[in-house]
Structures are given as structure tokens and as C-alpha cells.
Structure 1
Amino acid sequence: MKPFFSVRDLRSGYAGGVVLDGVDLDLEPGGILAVLGRNGVGKTTLISTVMGFVRPYGGSVTVDGREIAGARVDVIACAGVGVVPQGRRVFAPLTVAEHLAIAARRPARGPWTRARILDLLPRLGERLGHRGDQLSGGEQQMLAIARALLGNPRLLLLDEPSDGLAPAIVAQVGEVVREVSAQGMTVVLVEQNLGLALSVAENVAVMQKGRIVHRAPCAEFASRPDDRRRLLGVE
């Protein structure tokens, strides 16, 4: 069976400099892949290149057999890709309700409606009238996730969703990732929080210097402290 999400020899960077230097990835439908690595190895650039924020120098990215490498962001979104960016990027003056209304302006067919998302993330329902700058970090992260889900993507890219969050909110992020995967969504999770990554993903891919240098099932990676120390500098 062909992979649902495939990256082949993907190369990109900024102002002519190389950050991604031949990335290869495969992910089956409904799977969760954790992309790990130390700071500065190219993880966010990978997400940005797949989503079209950064134009690749070369290589291939396919979603369900459709080539999207180098396409515009709106074309990639229409191909079924959604993103929760690092730093959340909510709009300070807009209310939660306004964020959700904007995200729902171009409805995509699928199970994730406003009502269902608020059932999954009830705190947002309590904060509909609050502006982005009145939300806690955890609430902003849930809003960023809700905004992405309203597009009913088939592939969801999450870039450091636990960054700056309290442990209880990190656990909630994990629950949301597991839920959307159980509903058939394919997930790429870029994460520094090893505990979160290993608790939700099925497989890990470790990046170094713009390349994938190690792949393993999560259970295997969790059982090998020497690999974690060598690749990530953690126990």
C-alpha cells in the first residue's frame, strides 16, 4: 500500500541557505509520526516547507498521491493539509468566536464542525467572547488547534504544540491528538517534549542537520536510552 503522506529528497532553506538537506518520510493513513530533534536541526522548516510557507529547492511532497511541493498555501490547504504553527499565532484583537468564524468561512466536508470542536474543547465554548490576548497560553493553543480542525484536514501538522504549556494542558493536547487520529486524521507532530511525543505517536523520526537520521517505533525508541542520549541528548 502506498503511503498517504510521503516526502522524498526534500530540500529547502532561506535566502539560498540550506536547512533541509534531503528529507525522506512516509506515513500511513491515520498514523501519528513524531518528528524529534535538537533545536535548529530543521523541524520547523520541515513543517513550513510542507505547508508552503517556505518554497522548496527540490524534492517531492505528496498527500494521497497528489504532489504539493512548491504549491501555494491555499492549494495545499485545499489538498487536505492543516497546520497548528509554533507560537499559536492567534490574533490578539479577535474573539474566540471570530477566530472560529473566519476559519469556517470556507467549509470543508468532514466531521469537524464548530459544535463538535467545542464539545472536544469545552473551555473554548466558555471563552467565545474573549479576545485572543485575553486567553491563557493553553487556551490559545486549543484555539489554534480548533482553527485547524475546522478545515477538516486529512493531514494535520503540529509544530511544538506543548511549548510553554503547563503539564495538565500538555496532557490535554495529547488527548486531542489521539482523538483526531482515532477519527482517521493523519498527524505529523514536531515536538521537544519527549514524554508527549512517545505517549501519542506510533513512530518517531529523528532529525539532525536537515536530514532524518533515525526511525523507530515509539516503544522501541522508549526502551533505548542510549539512542535517546546519542540523538537527542536526553535519557
Structure 2
Amino acid sequence: MPEAIDVLIVEDDPMVAAIHRQFIGAVPGFIVAGVVSSGKDALEFLQQHPVRLVILDVFLPGMDGVATLQKIREMNRTVGVIVVSASRDTNTINAVLKAGAFDYVIKPFVFERIQTSLRSFQQLENRLNRGADQIDQKELDRLLQVQQKETAANDLPKGLNPQTLQQVKNLLGHAASPLSSVETAQALKISRITARRYLEYLVAAGEATLELEYQKVGRPTNRYALRK
């Protein structure tokens, strides 16, 4: 059985990093080796822990993702890199692809898209490291192709089920205004933590929006609405 692919997440938003960790953990054959929030920390981590894959954001404090990827290549690291970013700038996309990124996934994304990218990388890694010296064009074309597939219910992250997800979507769709995780939990008779997981999943998948409601005192409340 092939060895699990260890992954470094480079993301400065803690919530997004947690979602990345959840999504990666839901794909068999991958383990998260570390999470860092800057390009500088990523380079230091890679010097001590030579992982096989990096999930890299573009918008990072200090050194951005493009410069970080270029530094990784200057270090002669053959680590795979999948860029996951909200940047739609064609110059940025061109730069990271020319620097050797395996794939570029635009936020917000659905779980199926990042899963497809991970599986494509996994298949390529396992095939090229299998020991055979040669490969034909047909097999190489199949390995390099990243295909979009319709999201399947059983592809949800571990711990989420399609029935509850649909209930959350129905609730948001019929709500007169954005709902908090507490309000969602009370309406569906589930725990607040469970409600928040489904709501955060919908935001990451691009199916819901998140807005902050600021109070006179205390922390702001996260409110969620179904994307129109």
C-alpha cells in the first residue's frame, strides 16, 4: 500500500486553514503534517520536514504565495504545490503555474474540486514513484488530467451527512435574514458546534455567505445566508 502523502498547509486565516485540514483529512491517503501562516514559516518548516505536498495561499503576510513558491524551487525542493487562493489575477496564476504549481484552485471552491486535485496528485505521485522507468503518453495524459465531477453525497467531509446538509440549506433558503450558528442549531435541534460545521462547509463550498454582526460589546456574531 502506498505511503500516505504528508501535507503542509500555508494559510493565514485560521478558519480557512481548519477547513483545509478537514477537507484533506476526508481524502484517504493524505495526512496534515503542519499548518503555518506565512511564507517565511513555510520555508523554515520545509527545511526541517520535507513533506510531499504544500497547500499554498497567495495572500500571505510578508512574503506572498508567489514569492514563497519561487523560494521553494530555489531551495531545489521537488515538493508538489497546489495553490488555493481567492486571487483571480491572470498574472498571478501564470506566475505560480510557471513556477511549477501542480494545480490552482480558486476560492470559494467545492469539496469535490480540491478532492479531485488531491487525488490527481496522489495518482501521479504513486505512479511515478512506483519504480518503473518509463510511461507511455496515454497513461501520462490520464494522470495529468484534472477533471471536474459532479459532487457526490458520499464525498462530504467526514462527520457531515447529506440529509442534515440539505436541512441547513433549506433553513437558510427560507430565512428572512442571515442566521447565526445558535439560531440554526435551535431550529434544527442539533448542537451549535454541529451547526457551525455545516455552515462553515457551505461557506467554503461557495454555497453560503458569511457576514459579521458587530455588537456594542463583545465579539461579533457570524451570520450565514444562502448564496443567491
TM-score, with length taken from structure 2: 0.32
Which structure exhibits the higher relative contact order, with contacts defined as CA atoms closer than 8 Å and separated by 6 or more residues?
1
Structure number with larger C-alpha Rg = 2
TM-score, with length taken from structure 1: 0.31
Whichever structure has more strand as a proportion of its residues is 1
Whichever structure has more helix as a proportion of its residues is 2
